[in-house]
């Protein structure tokens, strides 16, 4: 039976964790593999796991990504040790005979690609959340953002595929001077109810 995490772990994952705008340090390939090996266990609808990840580290890959970035995201992304492009494979159902073998789940999503848009978006967004939490669990800081030209990212990194970019996440050691004061959050009674 799982036990609740202690306060230090909850702080690291949620309460004191922040979105950073400047990063330093190094992130090894081994750490990125470990990160993915945690993310892959997060649940998705029928184990669709539509997210696809490109870990942008090299100067050449950064140069490909740069023209797609919004002006306000350019400098921090170019300086980050790693930027993760999280895309969603709109043909995710092709892998379901392997990923969900106990029934013909592929048939649920056959037909026009538009029928797979919502499931791919919902489930890759879940996986993006898992990536941020897994990064924090491994001692990395994260800076997710959507300020980029998706068509340019897709052309540079996913040309000729059924993958569309959704979210970028900078990873590294966050600079505390780069964060804004924490914005308010809604209280339980404003955002939730128990019935």
pLDDT tens, residue by residue, 100-131: 999 999 999 998 888 899 999 999 999 999 99
Instruction: Give CA–CA dist 95/100, Å, rounded.
Output: 8
Q: From 59, 55, 67, select the one nearest 168 (Cα to Cα).
A: 55
pLDDT of 182: 93
The bridge status of strand 163-174 relative to strand 82-89 is antiparallel
- Long-range contact set of residues 114-120: C-beta below 8 Å, sequence gap at least 24: 116/90, 116/91, 116/92, 117/90, 119/45, 119/48, 119/50, 119/92, 120/48, 120/50, 120/88, 120/89, 120/90, 120/92
pLDDT tens, residue by residue, 60-99: 999 999 999 999 999 999 999 999 999 999 999 999 999 9
Domains and CATH numbers, the chain: 26-172 (3.40.109.10)
Q: From 120, 131, 126, select the one nearest 164 (Cα to Cα).
A: 120
Taking the alpha carbons of 52, 34, 128, 194 in that order, is the dihedral positive or negative? positive
The 10 Å Cβ neighbour count of residue 23 is 24
pLDDT tens, residue by residue, 49-59: 999 999 999 99
């Amino acid at each position: 039976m799982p036990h609740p995490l202690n306060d230090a772990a909850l702080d690291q994952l949620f309460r004191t964790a922040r979105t950073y705008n400047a990063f330093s340090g190094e992130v090894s390939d081994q750490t990125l593999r470990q990160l993915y090996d945690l993310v892959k266990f997060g649940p998705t609808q029928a184990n669709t796991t539509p997210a696809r990840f490109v870990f942008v580290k090299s100067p050449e890959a950064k140069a490909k990504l740069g023209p797609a970035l919004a002006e306000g995201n350019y400098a921090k992304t170019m300086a980050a040790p790693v930027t993760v492009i999280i895309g969603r494979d709109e043909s995710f159902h092709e892998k379901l005979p392997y990923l969900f073998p106990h029934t013909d789940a592929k048939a649920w999503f056959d037909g026009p690609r538009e029928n797979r848009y919502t499931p791919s978006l919902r489930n890759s967004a879940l996986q993006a959340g898992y990536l941020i939490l897994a990064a924090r669990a491994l001692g990395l800081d994260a800076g997710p953002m959507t300020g980029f030209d998706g068509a340019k990212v897709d052309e540079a990194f996913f040309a000729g595929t059924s993958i569309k970019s959704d979210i970028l996440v900078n990873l590294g050691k966050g600079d505390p001077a780069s964060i804004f004061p924490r914005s308010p959050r809604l209280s339980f009674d404003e955002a939730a109810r128990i019935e």
